C-alpha cells in the first residue's frame, strides 16, 4: 500500500465508487461477502488497492494545502514542478487557530510580530507522495484562498 487505507467513514461516503471498483474487478456482491468471510486477507488487499486509487485521484488534482498551528501558518501552492510555501509566523502569544487570534493577524499583518517567509521545493521522484506526506503531517487540502491572499500580499 502506497498511501493509507481510507477510514470507515470515507469508505461509507465512497460506497458507490467502491461497488464500481469491485465490478471492474468482476467481483459481485455475493463474491465480496464470501471474500470477506473466507479470505479476509484478499478482501484487505482490495480495500488497500481501492484506497490507493482514491488517494492517487485526489492528490493528482490537489492545488493548495494549509497547515495552521497556534504560531505558524504554512500555505502550500502545488505547482507542476515544485511546491511553493508561504510561512507566516507569529512572534507573540496570539493563537491564530482561534477566531480572535486570526482576526488579530488579519488586522495586524504589518506588525513586527508577524514574519513572512517563502520558499520553493522541487518534488522528489513521486509528486503525489510528497503531497501525501504533507497531509500526514497535518496539512489539509483547500481551495487556496489564504494562499492566494498572502501570495498577492508578499509578492
56 and 69 together in one domain: no
Alpha helices, H only, the chain: 8-13, 15-24, 29-38, 40-61, 99-107, 127-136, 145-154
Alpha helices, H only, 39-90: 40-61
106 and 55 together in one domain: no
Q: Domain of residue 132: give its range.
A: 64-154
17 and 37 together in one domain: yes
Q: List the chain pLDDT tens, one digit each, 155 residues.
A: 999 999 999 999 999 999 999 999 899 989 999 999 999 999 999 999 999 999 999 999 999 999 999 999 999 999 999 999 999 999 999 999 999 999 999 999 999 999 999 999 999 999 999 999 999 999 999 999 999 999 999 98
138 and 69 together in one domain: yes
19 and 46 together in one domain: yes
54 and 83 together in one domain: no
73 and 136 together in one domain: yes
Domain contains 1: no
Three-state SS at 148: helix
Per-residue pLDDT at 111: 95
56 and 92 together in one domain: no
Per-residue pLDDT at 31: 93
Cβ distance 47 to 27 under 8 Å? no
How far is 87 from 117, CA to CA, in rounded Å? 5
Cβ distance 54 to 17 under 8 Å? yes
Domain contains 2: no
62 grid coordinates: 490537489
97 and 56 together in one domain: no
Q: Say how many domains are in the chain.
A: 2
Domain contains 92: yes
Task: Estimate to the nearest angstrom the gap between the alpha carbon of 29 and the chain centroid.
Answer: 31
33 grid coordinates: 461477502
80 and 16 together in one domain: no
User: What DSSP element (H or E) covers 84?
Assistant: strand 82-90
Per-residue pLDDT at 81: 92
Burial of 155 (0-12, 13-18, 19+ CB in 10 A): exposed
What is the C-alpha end-to-end distance of the chain, expressed in Å? 40
Amino acid at each position: 500500500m502506497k498511501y493509507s487505507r481510507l477510514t470507515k467513514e470515507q469508505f461509507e461516503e465512497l460506497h458507490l465508487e467502491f461497488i464500481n471498483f469491485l465490478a471492474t474487478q468482476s467481483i459481485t456482491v455475493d463474491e465480496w461477502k464470501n471474500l470477506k468471510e473466507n479470505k479476509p486477507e484478499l478482501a484487505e488487499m482490495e480495500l488497500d488497492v481501492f484506497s490507493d486509487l482514491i488517494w492517487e485521484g485526489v492528490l493528482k488534482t490537489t492545488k493548495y494545502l494549509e497547515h495552521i498551528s497556534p504560531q505558524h501558518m504554512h500555505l502550500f501552492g502545488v505547482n507542476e514542478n515544485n511546491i511553493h510555501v508561504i510561512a507566516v509566523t507569529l512572534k507573540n502569544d496570539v493563537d491564530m487557530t482561534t477566531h480572535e487570534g486570526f482576526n488579530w493577524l488579519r488586522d495586524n499583518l504589518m506588525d513586527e510580530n508577524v514574519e513572512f517567509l517563502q520558499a520553493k521545493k522541487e518534488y522528489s521522484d513521486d509528486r503525489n507522495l510528497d503531497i501525501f506526506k504533507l497531509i500526514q503531517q497535518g496539512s489539509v487540502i483547500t481551495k487556496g484562498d489564504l494562499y492566494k491572499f498572502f501570495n498577492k500580499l508578499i509578492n
